[in-house]
Each structure stands twice: as C-alpha cells, then as structure tokens.
Amino acid sequence: MSESTGGETLLFLTDEQLRQGIEAMFFAYRGFTADPDRILATMAYGRAHHRAIHFIARAPGTTVNNLLEILGVTKQSLNRVLRTLVEDGLVESKVGTTDRRERNLFLTEDGMALERRLSDAQRARMRAAYRQAGPEAVAGFRTVLEAMMDPEMRRKYNALREGGA
C-alpha cells in the first residue's frame, strides 16, 4: 500500500489528509443529526423513526420492501418502527392496487407535520452551511459524497432524485 505515486496533484491524498477527512465526516454527521434528534427526544421517537418518515415523505406510496432496501435494516427492525408510526396515526399503510401483497406507505396530515418540523430543522443547518461555504464548495461536497457511496446506495440515491424531481 505504499503510495509512491507522489505527483503534486495527489498531495491531498496523504494519510494525514485522509484522516482529517474521516474526522470531518464524523464530527459533521454529529451536527447533521443533532437538531432532529433534539426534537425527537421530546417524544417517544428516535432516529429510526425520522429515517422512515423522511423516505416515506420523499417517495409517497413506497412499499415496505423498497424502504427496507433504502434503509438497509431488517424487516423486523423496520416493522417495529413502522408499527408505532401507524398506531400513532402518522403513517398510513394501504394495500397495493396492482399487487395486493404489497403495502403502500403514506404520511398522514400529522405525519407530514412532523416531517416538516424535522426536516426544517435539518435543512436550516444545511442551508447555513451551504451559504457559508458557497456554491462551488457545495458542488464539491456533493461530488465527494456520491463517490463515497456503495454503488447500490448510489443507485438508490439517484432513483430518489429522478422520482422526486
């Protein structure tokens, strides 16, 4: 693994630079989740509920299986979260129209209200960071993040962009 390609354009690939990038991801992710977490802590919900709510809002009518793949958890784990959300009247689970084995998931009015509250908080931080960093930095930010994803996740990510456009 000895990196002796050492051109000047590759100077930013020293282990020290990479390590700083790793730490930046760690600390930034903490900030990224901090605001929604604070809101969720006041109710009986956690980060798992937020993720489910986010992606149902993003792709209304999505199936359980699709959500499973996006979130990368087991159906048992997701089911526990989904059940409480349905019970609490934030999510509605409708039998599929074409395939009645499937369940199409939607947010109720209350669900949308919570989603808005959570994502407003998260977007506010994002907006501040974007504004501070400037458009070019934001483009670079997105480029690097996409390159870091697993190929499968990049596909899911792009599918959301196309569907949500």
74 in contact with a copy of itself (CB under 8 A): no
Query: Residue 68 Cβ, how far from a copy of itself at the closest point, in Å?
Result: 14
- State which residue, 7 or 97, has the beta carbon closest to a copy of itself: 7
Q: Which residues pair with 63 in a beta bridge?
A: 104
2 in contact with a copy of itself (CB under 8 A): no
Distance CA 161, CA 158 (A): 5
133 in contact with a copy of itself (CB under 8 A): yes
Four-CA torsion 118, 75, 152, 93, nearest 10 degrees: -60
Q: Which partner, a copy of itself, DNA, none, binds residue 88 by CB below 5 to 8 Å per kind?
A: none
User: Judging by DSSP bridges, how do beta strands 103-107 and 91-95 pair with one another?
Assistant: antiparallel
Q: Which of 72, 89, 140, 163 binds DNA (CB under 7 A)?
A: 72
Give one word for 72, left, alpha or beta, with left for phi > 0 and alpha for psi -120 to 50. left
The sign of the torsion formed by the CA atoms of 64, 78, 162, 89 equals: positive
Give the interface with DNA as residue ranges (CB under 7 A).
44-49, 51, 63-65, 68, 71-83, 93, 95-96, 99-103
Contact residues for a copy of itself, defined by CB under 8 A: 1, 9-10, 12-13, 15-32, 34, 51, 54, 58, 72, 119-120, 122-150, 153-154, 156-157, 160-161, 164-165
